[in-house]
Chain A
Amino acid sequence: MSNRAYLDAASAEELHPAAREVLLQALDSGWADPARLHHEGRTARLLLDNARAVLAEGLGVRADELYLTTSGTAAIHTGLPAVAAARRRIGTTVVHSAVEHSAVLHAAASAGTPYEVGVDQSGRVDAEAFAAQIRQPGVAVAAVQTANHEVGTRQPVTELGEVAAAAGVPLFVDAAATVGHEEIPGGWSVLTASAHKWGGPAGVGLLAVRKGTRLAPAWPVDEREDGLSPGHPNVPAALAAAAALQARLTEAEELGKQHRAWIAELRTRVAAEITDVEVVGDPEDRLPHVLTFSCLYVDGEALVTALDAEGFSVSSGSACTASTLRPSHVLAAMGVLTHGNVRVSLGRTSTYDDVDRFARVLPGLVQRIRAEVGM
């Protein structure tokens, strides 16, 4: 299997070696309930506090501004409604971009009255329209991602943060695509992230809430995480997530530079060597490690399967690859081709050889699939 190239780091990155070591140790030392006052409980509590301190430092927040949840999705599903509920007297509108992660769309629909702001063909939200909507009366919260998880385009978070602050509206920022990879923009009131995107274990989400932002959880609350994540926390996983983030952040600059250059090369080669291909997302103002393109007349599922058989693991936003048989709402909002879609995303163990082989193998596969349908 040495020839396999895992090019789906934006879905999940393999466990960072630093996290693996910490996880194994913490499984033995951090299993007890950190809410208990006995020796084992206090040990677990110490480890949890340590994890929170490291994760908070990684995000640039205070430890008492950071809640640990059971996933990035859970952080969104609790955080967004809790912020909206605290502002019920002001209004119920939840402004969001059309290309937010489905977790944000689902949370927005259950938290209030969603107002969707469109994006341009590169996937960037219309900042003027978004700002105008924030200034409307009755807005509970506005939600925008740091960068798009499917096409890599960065969003104007800092700019929208200034508008939101001036209007007194909390800005909810899904930073899952960015944390561990690039610097997090400022201007947000609430920020969420997910550990398995930076080489931490699955099952750890972060919900950072700036002091002064009010929350009103509308579900049964316990004493854990101020009621934002009920139940006994997974201390070993939290500690491993912290170790992974710490390690990943020291590597981020170098990896980012490398990934940015390789993705730029791949972008050029895909566009040059395949006919009728639409490379999507902003070519410059983007995440370093993500490239997305769609091939005309190609079945996305067939292409993902053919690439897998050649040793390449990629994801796709094409309808045929989704359980719902609906195309990616991100590609649809951008108005770009949704079939024949492939997302390549590089991780910390990706090599130039992976990228180069991918660029050499892809044109033949596309040609073969097109030939099968007479194109």
Chain B
Amino acid sequence: MTTLDCRGMLCPLPVIKLAQAFPELAVGETIAVLADDPAAATDIPAWCRMRAQELVSADDGRYVVRKLS
């Protein structure tokens, strides 16, 4: 699984990095984002909802997202 290390970055950067990495993924594949900006806790799940992608888990600054489409 690909891991994007976005620690130290402020929003919207972690979400931008996630969106930019997404085209490389196959449908069904997952990607992990490490982000310590408090805004990421809301914005990564919100991005998944807006883009109809699956947030698999969000634990302690580690977000796993599955590509659905």
The answer to whether A297 touches B15 (Cβ under 8 A) is yes
A327 at the interface (CB under 8 A from B): yes
Contacts of B15 in A (CB 8 A): 296-297, 339
The contact of A336 among B10, B20, B42, by CB within 8 Å, is B42
What is the size, in residues, of chain A's interface with B at 8 Å between Cβ atoms? 23
Contacting residues, chain A, for B39 (C-beta < 8 A):
318-319, 326-327, 338-339
Distance from B55 Cβ to chain A, minimum over Cβ atoms (Å): 11
B9 to chain A, nearest CB (A): 11
What are the residues of chain A within 8 A of B38 when measuring CB–CB?
A: 319, 325-327
Cβ-defined contact, A332 with B42, below 8 A: yes
Total count of chain B residues near the partner, CB < 8 A: 19
Distance in Å: Cβ of A305 to nearest Cβ of chain B: 15
CA–CA, A338 and B50, complex, Å? 13
Interchain nearest-CB distance for B58 vs A (Å): 12
Instruction: Let me know if B19 is at the binding interface, CB within 8 A.
Output: yes
B11 touches which of A320, A335, A374 (Cβ 8 Å): A320
| Interface-central residue, B16, B19, B37, B42, by most chain A CB under 10 Å | B42
In the complex, which residue of chain A has the Cβ closest to the Cβ of B49?
Answer: A335
User: In the complex, given contacts A297-B15, A325-B10, A335-B45, what are 17 additional A-B residue pairs having Cβ atoms less than 8 angstroms apart?
Assistant: A278-B50, A299-B12, A319-B11, A319-B38, A331-B42, A335-B42, A335-B46, A335-B49, A336-B46, A337-B47, A338-B42, A338-B46, A339-B12, A339-B39, A373-B16, A375-B16, A375-B19
Interface residues of A (CB under 8 A from B): 276, 278, 296-299, 318-320, 325-327, 331-332, 335-340, 373-375
Ranked nearest first, the 9 interchain pairs of A and B with the lowest CB-CB distance are A339-B12, A327-B39, A337-B46, A339-B11, A319-B39, A332-B42, A338-B39, A338-B42, A326-B38
